[in-house]
């Protein structure tokens, strides 16, 4: 049987196979009372915990470095929570100029669960989009029937070696882009790496890779690494 098999790690680091139809209850809700398109009021970097919130603030200020087609406003954080629970989802939810929802999941260090976590969020956002619930969040923007785009952003050296393998089992409907940023992103965020889907990075002696090879290709929207 060549059907895809999915495994999930528990809190103790043990892996077990799960049924793809049991990835989680999609019945989430939008925290409308807590939504702030301007983002939370953020204290000094050294006072922010967890550090993902710091990265969230930096990304908000450099959104076009990650995707030049995103609208700078509104951008929402911690949009969804489990129905009947208090777990918040989706680091940032934005929308492109053509009305496509874009999920930005951010990590400051290596996380083996990142692709499946992103998949879970993608499924929930798609579910809410199909219900027509995101229209009021983005007034003046026509949200069509396109599936959301998923951006996984983290320091370039922190993507786990298994991520490409996991992403290779994703449906072609799910557009995923891994964006590697500089390790000193607190000072100034720079894009160092772009990988589409299950592409693997390829070293070319410090040169930018040939387009389509799976390695970062510089664009006019990216800041030249120092």
CATH for 163: 3.40.1350.10
State which H helix or E strand residue 58 sits in.
Answer: helix 51-61
Structural domains counted in the chain: 1
Q: Report yes or no on 16 lying in a domain.
A: no
Q: Report yes or no on 20 lying in a domain.
A: no
The strand pair at 101-106 and 80-82 is best described as: unpaired
Q: Report yes or no on 28 lying in a domain.
A: no
Higher pLDDT, 104 or 79: 104
Q: Report yes or no on 53 lying in a domain.
A: yes
Q: Report yes or no on 6 lying in a domain.
A: no
Q: Average pLDDT, stretch 59-75? A: 94
Q: Report yes or no on 161 lying in a domain.
A: yes
Is residue 189 over pLDDT 70?
A: yes
Q: Report yes or no on 213 lying in a domain.
A: yes
Secondary structure class of 56 (helix, strand, coil): helix
Share of the chain above pLDDT 70, in %: 62
Q: Which residue has the tokens 């990590």?
A: 107
Find the range with the poorest average confidence among 100-104, 140-144, 153-157.
140-144
Q: Report yes or no on 85 lying in a domain.
A: yes
Determine contact, residues 16/8, Cβ cutoff 8 Å: yes
Q: How far apart are CA 68 and CA 57, in angstroms?
A: 17
Position 34 scores a pLDDT of 52
Beta-carbon-side half-sphere exposure of residue 18 (alpha carbons within 13 Å)? 13
Is residue 198 over pLDDT 80?
A: yes
Domain containing residue 94: 48-226
């Amino acid at each position: 049987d060549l059907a895809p098999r999915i495994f999930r790690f528990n809190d103790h680091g043990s892996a077990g196979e799960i049924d793809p139809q049991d990835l989680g209850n999609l019945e989430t809700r939008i925290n409308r009372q807590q939504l702030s398109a301007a983002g939370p009021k953020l204290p000094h970097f050294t006072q922010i915990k967890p550090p993902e919130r710091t990265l969230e603030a930096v990304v908000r200020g450099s959104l076009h470095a990650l995707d030049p087609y995103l609208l700078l406003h509104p951008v929402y954080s911690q949009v969804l929570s489990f129905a009947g629970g208090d777990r918040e989802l989706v680091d940032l939810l934005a929308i492109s100029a053509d009305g496509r929802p874009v999920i930005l999941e951010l990590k400051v260090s290596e996380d083996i669960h990142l692709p499946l976590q992103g998949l879970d969020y993608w499924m929930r956002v798609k579910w809410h989009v199909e219900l027509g619930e995101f229209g009021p969040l983005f007034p003046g923007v026509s949200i069509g029937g396109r599936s959301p785009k998923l951006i996984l952003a983290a320091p370039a050296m922190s993507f786990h070696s298994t991520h490409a393998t996991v992403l290779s089992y994703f449906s072609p409907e799910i557009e995923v882009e891994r964006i590697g940023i500089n390790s000193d992103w607190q000072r100034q965020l720079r894009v160092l790496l772009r990988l589409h889907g299950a592409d693997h990075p390829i070293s070319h002696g410090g040169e930018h890779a040939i387009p389509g090879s799976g390695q970062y290709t510089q664009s006019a929207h990216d800041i030249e690494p120092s």
